[in-house]
Structure 1
Amino acid sequence: MKKFLLIVNCLILALGNTGGPLMMRLYFIHGGKRVWLSAGLETAGFPLMLFPLIFSYIKRRRINHRPPPSTTTVITTETTTTKLNIISMKLPLFFAAAFIGILTGLDDYLYAFGVARLPISTSALIIASQLGFTAIFAFILVKQKFTAFTVNAVFLLTIGAGVLAMHTSSDRPAGVSVRQYVIGFLTTVAASALYGFVLPLIELVYKKTKQPLTYSLVMEIQFVMCLFATLFCVVGMIVNNDFKVIPREASNFDLGETTYYVVLVMNAI
């Protein structure tokens, strides 16, 4: 069962990492201009995590109410139950997850800002350089050792990003100035660096927590992170008046109003 869940998780992650940037770019190239909205949609699907959390709680509850194994000397029908909390996360861990969630919200904004100004191939390669930042911060925060494969991947991705930086005029989207392209390039690099810091930071939180690291606890941490990342972007949307502009932007969307909302929903999922 654990291997099956791991495979499903990897498939969903692969689908999200490949389809997500395409859907976001689709929003921008057909008339979408709300960066905060696009950033918030990156984690707005967090309520879907309630389903595995509920399933996990039901499973834990059943295990908690199982009768003890019978013995040859004593026969009993009593069940042993202990207090089972719906939420297993403790307050210090909650605050740590909330802080990481705010960092994730900032990273979402930087990434959306870059995708709005870069072709998808360029932004995807820059984001791939996150591996280098992750390796560096993992070495600093959790003492993760460098390997030959890591060094080779970091070197190749860094060279690729450098080549892209020197060809700003050849792959610049129509209507995007050199200045906008460079700013988009730099913000995407910043997003890559920040997320490269966030991932080892999550690992550090896992190591430092005094609670048993269970599936439910990990899902709760992810839920809180996505919740606060979304709230961070919602505040930005309110300040930027995005909620007022959405109906007008939908009516002017190149692919139609219905498709506009479909694109938003798919971005969130």
Structure 2
Amino acid sequence: MEEAQQKLLDIPNEEIFEKENHNIESSGSTHCTTKHKWWYQVAIFTLLTLIGEVITSLLVSIYFTKGGKSIWLISFVQNLGFPTLLPFLFYASLNNSNNNNNNSNSQIEVIKDNQEPHICIIFLVYVVLGVLLGGVSVFDSIGLKYLQVSTYSLINTSRLGFTVVFSFSFFLDGRKLITPSIVNSVVLVTVASVILVLHNNESGEKSGGKFLLGFFSAVGGSTTYSLVLSLTEFSYRKILKGRKFIDIIEMSIYQTLVASMVILLGLFISGDWKNLIMEMEKYQLGKVYYAVILLFIAISCQLNVVASIWLVFKVNPLLSNVLNNLGALITPIFGVIFLNDKIKGLKLVVMFLAIWGFASQIYQQYLNYMEENEEIEQNSRDICEVSHN
């Protein structure tokens, strides 16, 4: 025994330091790999967000311009795509069950299970978020019915300012959100929205009450959408406390399920359902295109919901809204190509201001990323100093 202890004492300090340094390097390498994986995931879900945002806006606008009239129907369709997520929920449930079985004896799992909220609280969270999401769909449908898709998309950039306000209100690192870059972005977007209201007749926009109804509906949709993102983050930080893939799928399904039920109720109460068959028969593009447009609206909108919730979970609601704003900036370009929208004069100024505001947000995200890397590097240096001492 003494010989063994002596051999341990005879190990040079350099070897100990090498082993410690190797462990630190391995930890750093693991962090880099994880960080790269995180960026790949952000890129993928950003792409899905943009696709969902652009396609949904264009198709809803096409629905109205080619003879569609039902706001309730198009709002319902925007939330009807949740069954497409059921296979993913089943797959995620199997993986989650296997992980729980492998860790069945873990004390950590037992503690976590004891901290799970009551089913009534979970139900209430999904109902509140679902009702709000249904409101977003109705507001957006009204906005796209009475506005050009380019105008509607530029108004949607106001989501950013509302997200900052709600994030600050719910204490979701709100104080960190109030930076010069973000304030600059919010001011620019606000000025752009005011210009759109004051000069709405320039590009052949609908005038009078219809334009104002569309404008304030688009603003209402932006406000409610920002509230949904902030409440989603708040719910998963303070109440549900879940960050797994299955949590994202469940949130997407239950939110849109509740929203679909609320809007379906509105569809029947309003009596719009009586005119749907006649609307489909008289649709300018024909019955087949009518059904195809509704189908792809459902799919694209669901892509946007899932991707946005994932970005809220993995980053924050502000970045999720920033990326949605990018989609709002891209949409007018496609509106010009496919819908013959006109972008000229002051609307070009508005687009420039919106792009400037988006660039300010991207710059702030870059600063946050660099600050985080500096903190990680400083922690690594501190560990090295402690190990050598």
Per-residue deviation, residues 83-102 of structure 1 (Å, max 9, x unmatched)? 9x9xx983312211211110
Equivalent residues in 2 for 1:153-192, closer than 5 Å: 153-173=185-205, 176-192=206-222
Checking the alignment, whether the CA contact within 8 Å between 1:168 and 1:182 is kept in structure 2 is no
Counterpart of 1:106 in 2: which secondary structure?
A: helix
Q: C-alpha offsets along residues 26-81 of structure 1, whole Å, 9 cap, x if unaligned?
A: 00000000001111112111111212211111212333445x8xxxxxxxxxx979
2:153 is equivalent to residue 124 of structure 1: yes
Q: Corresponding residue for 1:105? A: 134
Higher helix share: 2
How far is the alpha carbon of 1:210 from its aligned partner? 5.2
State which of 259, 282, 286 in structure 2 corresponds to 1:256. 286
The reply on whether 1:59 has 2:95 as its aligned counterpart is yes
* 8 A contact 1:94–1:224 mirrored in 2: no
Name which of 233, 245, 248 aligns with 1:215: 245
- How far apart are residue 20 of structure 1 and its match? 0.7
Q: Which residue of 2 aligns with 1:11?
A: 47
Taking the aligned partners of 2:285 and 2:243, their CA distance within structure 1 comes to 46
Q: How many residues align?
A: 253
User: Following the alignment from structure 2 to structure 1, what is the Cα–Cα distance between the partners of residues 180 and 56?
Assistant: 30
Please, which moves more after superposition, 8-17 or 160-169? Answer: 8-17
The residue type equivalent to 1:227 in the other structure is L
When structure 1 is superposed on structure 2, of 197-206 and 21-30 the one drifting more is 197-206
Alignment of 1:224-263 (within 5 A): 224-263=254-293
Q: Distance in 2 between matches of 1:21 and 1:150?
A: 26
How is 1:139-150 mapped onto 2 (pairs within 5 angstroms)? 139-142=168-171, 143-145=173-175, 146-150=178-182
Q: Deviations over 1:117-153 (max 9, x none)?
A: 0000100011111111111111111241312221122
In the other structure, the counterpart of 1:72 is: none
Please give the alpha-carbon distance, in whole angstroms, between the structure 2 residues aligned to 1:199 and 1:41.
Answer: 21
- Choose from 46, 62, 70 the match for 1:34: 70
Deviations 1:140-183, CA, capped at 9 Å, x for gaps: 1124131222112211111111111011222344xx44211111
Aligned to 1:24: 60
Q: Distance in 1 between matches of 2:93 and 2:142?
A: 38
C-alpha contact (below 8 Å) 1:35/1:113 kept by paired residues:
yes
* 19-28 or 239-248: bigger deviation: 239-248
Closer, same or farther: CA 190–172 of 1 in aligned 2, 3 Å: farther
CA RMSD of aligned residues (A): 2.5
In the aligned structure 1, how far is the partner of 2:202 from the partner of 2:215? 14
Asked whether the 8 Å contact 1:130–1:192 carries over to 2, the reply is yes
Q: Distance in 2 between matches of 1:179 and 1:191?
A: 18
Who is 1:74 aligned against? none
Kept in 2, the 8 Å contact 1:135–1:144? The answer is: yes
The offset of 1:192, in angstroms, is 1.1
Q: How many angstroms apart in 1 are the aligned matches of 2:216 and 2:241?
A: 39
Residue type matched to 1:191 in 2?
G
CA distance in 2, matches of 1:252, 1:133: 40
1:55 match: secondary structure: helix
Residue 210 and residue 97 in structure 1: after superposition, are their counterparts in 2 closer, same or farther (change >3 A)? closer
Q: Which has the larger radius of gyration?
A: 2
Q: Which amino acid aligns with 1:156?
A: L
Q: Distance in 2 between matches of 1:215 and 1:209?
A: 17
SS at the partner of 1:129? Answer: helix
CA distance in 2 between partners of 1:205 and 1:136 (Å)? 17
Pair 1:152 & 2:184 matched? yes
- The TM-score with structure 2 as length reference comes to 0.60
Q: Is the 8 A contact 2:200 2:207 kept in 1?
A: no
Whole-angstrom CA distance in 1 between matches of 2:42 and 2:81:
20
CA distance in 1, matches of 2:140, 2:294: 16
Instruction: Work out the CA distance in 1 between the residues paired with 2:75 and 2:204.
Output: 22
Instruction: Please tell me the residue identity of whatever aligns with 1:154.
Output: V
